[in-house]
Amino acid sequence: ETVFVARESNPDEGRVSASPDSVKKLKTLGFDVVVEAGAGLLSRVPDAAFESAGARIGTAADAKSADVVLRVRRPVAAETASYKSGAIVIAIMDPYGNEAALAEMASAGLTAFAMELMPRITRAQSMDVLSSQANLAGYQAVIDAAAEFDRAMPMMMTAAGTVPAAKVFVMGAGVAGLQAIATARRLGAVVTATDVRPASKEQVASLGAKFIAVEDDEFKAAETSGGYAKPMSEAYQAKQAVLTAEHLAKQDIVITTALIPGRPAPRLITREMLKAMKPGSIAVDLAVERGGNIEGAVAGSVVEVEGVKVVGYNNVPGRIATSASSLYAKNLVTFLETMVSKETGMLALNIEDELVKATMLTHGGTVVHPNFAPAPV
């Protein structure tokens, strides 16, 4: 059986879905591996590195005969049409709002898996792309903020005087936010953070940052069984806005990471709040592609809003592509391994497996995922 590693067609995508290590692992699982020429270039993995790991370098036409296609992003229509009916395609599928693309994959006969729907259970931790990529994004957000900031991050006491430590506020203390806190602390900033999940309070404190939040009854109940945030009431958001506004006015850098799965990102910072910040402050919006936490943030750009530089890069994990690809490749191969029968060494999809149930979007010609399947008539 053959695994095809696609070269990403989206020009904004620097990551690749395999690494030399993951190719070696695929080979030991019994797969032939074909890597599309140049697939790893933007992640600094030359074709030769894949070749010495045991892959053959091929072209897009090789996808036609592959049993498994590995990608970073969902295939575009022409790519979908070029895959063999019955092939497994695994990627970050971005399924919400893209039902037409799911229907295309279904009618092409593909069995498509969305890695971002992986359940957050112990068995699947090593397959959790949201965590592996968000962790790097949280780090990179601080690096991007530091690059835009005209001052130093750490306190510096010199013969010529003292430079104060930067004050960094992290909004949303999930995987990305916690790494942003840790990174800002390592750079010597004074860090505060907020979240709507009460469980995050202790995690923030354990990283040496101060927790700031409206801790009312709604807050105390604000976590789903899956560990995700719930949308908060308007009344809560109003109270949160007052607290945020006061706190923000004293900050140098704010990094927002707040997301609610399957919904637009909550708006946390208004233009007004930016205006109250000191000139030269930096605001990094890691949720910009999902609608943005910050008013005025522009996806794919750094813009100045009310004297604050608002950083809204797309695909932040892709800005640190070599590290991101290596972790993503490991997530993919670990998941694919669960689909290989220990007895026969061949692909044997178990549609009763909870990992498969949670992530399988299309199979047997239809959209099968309950969140996206057309309502029964």
Active site annotation includes 96:
no
Selected catalytic residue, list 19, 131, 140, 326: 131
- Write down the residue that tokens 């994959």 correspond to: 105
Per the document, the length of the chain is 377
Give CA–CA dist 236/245, Å, rounded.
14
β-strand pairing of 111-114 with 88-92? parallel
Give CA–CA dist 24/223, Å, rounded.
40
Rounded to a whole number of angstroms, the minimum distance from the CB of residue 368 to ligand NAD is 24
Token digits for 276?
């109250």
Rounded to a whole number of angstroms, the minimum distance from the CB of residue 61 to ligand NAD is 38
Binding mask 283-302 for ligand NAD (x = CB under 6 A): --------------------
**Under the criterion CB under 6 A, does residue 257 sit at the interface with ligand NAD?**
yes
| Span from 30-38, 70-78, 153-161, 255-263 in contact with ligand NAD (CB under 6 A) | 255-263
**Sheet bearing 88-92, strands edge to edge:** 56-58, 32-36, 2-5, 68-73, 88-92, 111-114, 360-363, 366-367
DSSP conformational letter for 198 = T
Selected catalytic residue, list 9, 52, 85, 125: 125
The residue within the footprint of ligand NAD, chosen from 40, 266, 292, 318 (CB under 6 A), is 266
Q: Which is nearer to ligand NAD, 211 or 228 (CB)?
A: 228
Rounded to a whole number of angstroms, the minimum distance from the CB of residue 173 to ligand NAD is 5
| Span from 12-20, 39-47, 251-259, 357-365 in contact with ligand NAD (CB under 6 A) | 251-259
| Nearest CA-CA partner of 296 in 270, 317, 266, 331 | 270
| Nearest CA-CA partner of 207 in 186, 237, 182 | 182
**Under the criterion CB under 6 A, does residue 174 sit at the interface with ligand NAD?**
yes
**Under the criterion CB under 6 A, does residue 263 sit at the interface with ligand NAD?**
no
CB-CB contact of 219 with 230 (8 Å) = no
Rounded to a whole number of angstroms, the minimum distance from the CB of residue 252 to ligand NAD is 20
The residue within the footprint of ligand NAD, chosen from 54, 228, 239, 319 (CB under 6 A), is 228
DSSP conformational letter for 183 = H
Euclidean distance between the first and final Cα of the chain, in Å? 38
Active site annotation includes 120:
yes
The residue within the footprint of ligand NAD, chosen from 3, 204, 259, 360 (CB under 6 A), is 259
Q: Which is nearer to ligand NAD, 19 or 194 (CB)?
A: 194
The residue within the footprint of ligand NAD, chosen from 25, 167, 197, 309 (CB under 6 A), is 197
CB-CB contact of 257 with 174 (8 Å) = yes
Token digits for 235?
């009344």
Q: Which is nearer to ligand NAD, 171 or 368 (CB)?
A: 171
Active site annotation includes 131:
yes
Q: Which is nearer to ligand NAD, 91 or 193 (CB)?
A: 193
Active site annotation includes 21:
no
β-strand pairing of 111-114 with 360-363? antiparallel
| Span from 69-77, 149-157, 196-204, 315-323 in contact with ligand NAD (CB under 6 A) | 196-204
Beta-strand (E) ranges in the chain?
2-5, 32-36, 56-58, 68-73, 88-92, 111-114, 156-158, 161-163, 167-171, 190-194, 210-211, 253-256, 282-285, 301-305, 308-312, 360-363, 366-367
Binding mask 126-145 for ligand NAD (x = CB under 6 A): --x-xx--x-----------
Active site annotation includes 150:
no
Rounded to a whole number of angstroms, the minimum distance from the CB of residue 147 to ligand NAD is 23
CB-CB contact of 292 with 285 (8 Å) = yes
Residues near ligand NAD, by CB under 6 A: 120, 125, 128, 130-131, 134, 171-177, 194-197, 199-200, 227-229, 232, 257-261, 266, 268
Q: Which residues are catalytic?
A: 120, 125, 128, 131, 228
